[in-house]
Amino acid sequence: MNESRYLRLVEDDHRYLWHPFTQMRAWLDDQPIVIERGEGNYLIDVNGRRFLDGVSSLWCNVHGHRKAELDQALIDQAGRIAHSTMLGLSNVPAIELGQELVSVAPAGLKRVFYSDSGAEAVEVALRMAVQYWQQTGARRRKLFLALTESYHGDTVGAASLGYSEMFHRYVRPVLFSALKTDPPVMFRLYRGLTARDALVAALEAAKAVIERHREDLAALVIEPMVQGAAGMWTHPAEYLREMARLAREAGALVIFDEVATGFGRTGKMFACEHAQVSPDLLCLGKGITGGYLPLAATLATERIFDAFLGDIAQFRAFYYGHTYTGNPLAAAVAVANLKLFRDEALIERLAPRIALLSQAIEAKIAALPHVADIRQCGLMVGIELMRDVARRERYDVSSQMGAKVARAARKGGVLIRPLGDVVVLMPPLSITDAEIEHLVGAVAEAITEVTLQHD
């Protein structure tokens, strides 16, 4: 790659593009990495530099890049048809994928509704829940209960539920209100309780709000085991199990958003398996295509599905959909993705990789002076940095510590993206032992360098 091509690309990026979640003023002053290729767990930029994909290209890549089986599935399907609609028609890969998803899904989920992104999978679940109650006579059930700092995507419904002051403050006027309850991590980190007491306190808090809304709660919506975008906030399986039980006891539905946690990230196919609890509606995205193409799905129980059956004139259909719903290219790759899980016994082989990641973090990162908390569930890790760990004093927002660590890690050949001052590691499931050591080593060096500079 010659320098002039790189500079031209950057110039055109700066001239024509608007990047998501990005302060464009800072972006326009910077020389971005421009990715051209991928190879296994590495991203390769137009200048030929190789970077370990430390956050799975925003939490979605599963088997690495250019996985032969996924490439082939895409090529084969492109040789048949790229797209046809699901409105009034069906297509082969969408049908095959439906059957595959139901066969791996938590018990009771029997119907698959496709969309294109995680946020849409959540929108679909919310709309299904509301319509379900309207059509089954419990018309008062319109409220949703979510966890404080949960993140469910950026469409208006999903953002109403997973409201974040940082991300969504300017759309607040058009969001609907949702009930919130604090998860255990907030009681542990911000109120100084032990893990056990934090669990008890969080459940007490949830019980109170659910009790107050016994008659009007439509559904509990929760990211099982890990609240990803909150900063990899983990909770014990017991919390998830009890929350589902409390919601159901009050007659409400249970919605699990496994857009981030699904497809092996937490060490199980789906995170809710840790608690052995199934939802009424399950939201899937990201890893569903192995991180190749935009596809999402909302899975429902037969009880929910049945409530939408009726004569045409009753208008009980689920009037929702998008142009590319059930796209054959994406569905074909998703089928190949699930086949790889099976053929490679991927989930069964994850445990040693997860243990090695914990050991490497323990050995190289845990004792660093500004590391305040390490949260890990499977291959999802959050390393929280603080200015003064003993006094639990945060860095000033403008110090941008997480961003600086991510920038410094590039020198060690690693690409990561933080959440505030939480350094996030979420490698592809295919990461090798040597790559785990590389990832953790480079991040440890980056944390040391950046925090020392700041001291």
- The minimum distance between CB 191 and ligand PLP, in angstroms, equals 25
If one asks whether residue 122 binds ligand PLP (CB under 6 A), the answer comes out as: yes
If one asks whether residue 418 binds ligand PLP (CB under 6 A), the answer comes out as: no
Q: Which helix (H) or strand (E) holds 406?
A: helix 401-409
- The minimum distance between CB 358 and ligand PLP, in angstroms, equals 22
Contacts of residues 404-408 at CB distance under 8 Å and 24 or more positions apart, as own/partner, are 404/450, 405/443, 405/446, 405/447, 405/450, 406/446, 408/445, 408/446, 408/449, 408/450
- The minimum distance between CB 113 and ligand PLP, in angstroms, equals 15
Query: Residues 56, 115, 117, 337: which binds ligand PLP (CB under 6 A)?
Result: 117
Cβ distance to ligand PLP smaller for residue 51 or 151: 151
Query: Residues 203, 229, 350, 424: which binds ligand PLP (CB under 6 A)?
Result: 229
- The minimum distance between CB 228 and ligand PLP, in angstroms, equals 4
Query: Residues 126, 161, 199, 260: which binds ligand PLP (CB under 6 A)?
Result: 260
If one asks whether residue 119 binds ligand PLP (CB under 6 A), the answer comes out as: yes
Query: Residues 153, 262, 287, 418: which binds ligand PLP (CB under 6 A)?
Result: 153
Residue nearest to ligand PLP (CB): 118
Closest CA to 120 of 362, 350, 294, 290: 294
If one asks whether residue 223 binds ligand PLP (CB under 6 A), the answer comes out as: yes
Measure Cα distances from 296 to 53, 141, 200, 357 in Å: 22, 26, 34, 29
Radius of gyration of the chain (CA): 22
| Orientation angle between helical segments 328-343 and 92-104, nearest 10 degrees | 40
Give backbone dihedrals phi and psi of 284, rounded to 5 degrees, phi first.
-125, 150
Cβ distance to ligand PLP smaller for residue 152 or 364: 152
Q: Applying CB under 6 A, what is the total number of residues that bind ligand PLP?
A: 14
DSSP three-state, residue 46:
coil
Q: How many residues does the chain have?
A: 455
Cβ distance to ligand PLP smaller for residue 324 or 395: 324
Cβ distance to ligand PLP smaller for residue 119 or 425: 119
Query: Residues 106, 157, 267, 285: which binds ligand PLP (CB under 6 A)?
Result: 285
Q: How far apart are CA 378 and CA 260, in angstroms?
A: 12
Residue appearing with tokens 């950026």:
154
Which one of 5-13, 44-52, 148-156, 190-198 is the stretch in contact with ligand PLP (CB under 6 A)? 148-156
If one asks whether residue 228 binds ligand PLP (CB under 6 A), the answer comes out as: yes
Which one of 38-46, 150-158, 332-340, 403-411 is the stretch in contact with ligand PLP (CB under 6 A)? 150-158
DSSP three-state, residue 115:
strand
If one asks whether residue 259 binds ligand PLP (CB under 6 A), the answer comes out as: yes
Angle CA 140–146–150, to nearest 5: 155
Cβ distance to ligand PLP smaller for residue 205 or 284: 284
If one asks whether residue 118 binds ligand PLP (CB under 6 A), the answer comes out as: yes
Q: How far apart are CA 185 and CA 194, in angstroms?
A: 10
Number of C-beta neighbours around residue 446 at 10 A:
22
| E-only strand ranges, 320-408 | 371-377, 380-385
If one asks whether residue 151 binds ligand PLP (CB under 6 A), the answer comes out as: yes
If one asks whether residue 299 binds ligand PLP (CB under 6 A), the answer comes out as: no
Cβ distance to ligand PLP smaller for residue 157 or 184: 157
Q: How far apart are CA 115 and CA 133, in angstroms?
A: 22
If one asks whether residue 179 binds ligand PLP (CB under 6 A), the answer comes out as: no
If one asks whether residue 157 binds ligand PLP (CB under 6 A), the answer comes out as: no
DSSP three-state, residue 254:
strand
If one asks whether residue 257 binds ligand PLP (CB under 6 A), the answer comes out as: yes
Cβ distance to ligand PLP smaller for residue 119 or 124: 119
Angle CA 166–169–170, to nearest 5: 130
Which one of 5-13, 147-155, 384-392, 416-424 is the stretch in contact with ligand PLP (CB under 6 A)? 147-155
Cβ distance to ligand PLP smaller for residue 146 or 307: 146
CB distance 329 to 293 below 8 Å: yes
Cβ distance to ligand PLP smaller for residue 122 or 385: 122
Q: How far apart are CA 354 and CA 358, in angstroms?
A: 6
- The minimum distance between CB 297 and ligand PLP, in angstroms, equals 12
If one asks whether residue 183 binds ligand PLP (CB under 6 A), the answer comes out as: no
Strands 281-284, 253-257: parallel, antiparallel or unpaired by DSSP?
parallel
Question: Given the rule CB under 6 A, which residues bind ligand PLP?
Answer: 117-119, 122, 151-153, 223, 228-229, 257, 259-260, 285
